[in-house]
């Protein structure tokens, strides 16, 4: 492993952890209705069971409401309801197999089930359908990181079209320091000391 990869693999994993906390549920660019906003707030507050119930109520009104479908699957995953999450995402995908956000969250479910090749296929399909689907890039980065393919994980993070408009400062006791609001988080990488330096360009490998 090159000196760059040895020094970069820990920052990549720390960055993924913080991005999962801060942006893990950014598949909804704009709120659709107050009920959806309320469900999202429950999710972000860590009330995953209540969020699940709220998303299900929304889907009873509109069974194809994409943000609620994605939110439901994520809420189930947070409660370790892996099989239920798989059923939910497959049901949602049946009438809309080309929904990039659903394919990305299916990749998350497959990753949690240890189905790594299938997860990669789902993430790549989501990325091909919508190059702006953030979770496809994050999912691929996490997957490649799990195989110690840190350069490939880093490349996914570098190429991801991240548009995190909320402050990435909810470190929640992880001890890695805090991200501050930037239009493009790709320029920020945590160091082992917990500080966040600005990277001017991608190092050569």
- Kindly give, in sequence order, each residue whose CB lies less than 8 Å from that of residue 44, ignoring residues fewer than 6 positions away: 25
> What per-residue confidence (pLDDT) applies to 179?
32
Q: Kindly report, residue by residue over 104-126, the tens digit of the pLDDT.
A: 999 999 999 999 999 999 999 99
Mean of the per-residue pLDDT values of the chain: 75
Q: Kindly report, residue by residue over 44-67, the tens digit of the pLDDT.
A: 999 999 999 999 999 999 999 999
Q: Higher confidence at residue 187 or residue 79?
A: 79
Closest CA relative to residue 116, chosen from 89, 148, 158: 148
Residue 93 reports pLDDT greater than 60: yes
pLDDT band at 71 (very low <50, low <70, confident <90, very high): very high
Tell me which of 82-96, 103-117, 128-142, 163-177 is least confident.
163-177
> What per-residue confidence (pLDDT) applies to 204?
40
Closest CA relative to residue 51, chosen from 26, 76, 30: 76
Q: In angstroms, rounded to a whole number, what is the distance separating the alpha carbons of residues 11 and 191?
A: 6
pLDDT band at 184 (very low <50, low <70, confident <90, very high): very low
Q: Kindly report, residue by residue over 12-25, the tens digit of the pLDDT.
A: 554 555 455 444 44
- Kindly give, in sequence order, each residue whose CB lies less than 8 Å from that of residue 114, ignoring residues fewer than 6 positions away: none
> What per-residue confidence (pLDDT) applies to 159?
84
pTM of the model: 0.69
In order of start, what are the domains of the chain with their CATH numbers? Answer: 28-132 (1.25.40.10)
> What per-residue confidence (pLDDT) applies to 30?
57
> What per-residue confidence (pLDDT) applies to 188?
32
Q: In angstroms, rounded to a whole number, what is the distance separating the alpha carbons of residues 133 and 141?
A: 13
């Amino acid at each position: 492993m090159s000196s760059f990869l040895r020094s970069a693999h820990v920052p990549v994993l720390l960055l993924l952890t913080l991005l999962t906390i801060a942006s893990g549920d950014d598949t909804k660019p704009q709120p659709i209705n107050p009920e959806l906003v309320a469900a999202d707030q429950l999710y972000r507050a860590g009330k995953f069971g209540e969020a699940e119930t709220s998303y299900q109520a929304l889907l009873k009104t509109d069974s194809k409401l994409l943000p609620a479908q994605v939110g439901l699957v994520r809420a189930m995953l947070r409660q370790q309801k892996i099989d239920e999450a798989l059923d939910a995402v497959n049901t949602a995908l049946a009438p809309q197999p080309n929904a990039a956000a659903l394919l990305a969250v299916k990749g998350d479910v497959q990753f949690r089930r240890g189905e790594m090749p299938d997860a990669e296929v789902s993430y790549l399909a989501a990325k091909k359908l919508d190059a702006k689907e953030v979770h496809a890039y994050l999912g691929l980065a996490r997957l490649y990181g799990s195989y110690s393919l840190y350069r490939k994980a880093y490349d996914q993070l570098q190429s991801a079209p991240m548009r995190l408009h909320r402050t990435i400062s909810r470190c929640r006791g992880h001890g890695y320091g805090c991200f501050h609001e930037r239009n493009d988080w790709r320029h920020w990488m945590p160091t082992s000391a917990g500080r966040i330096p600005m990277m001017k360009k991608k190092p050569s490998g």
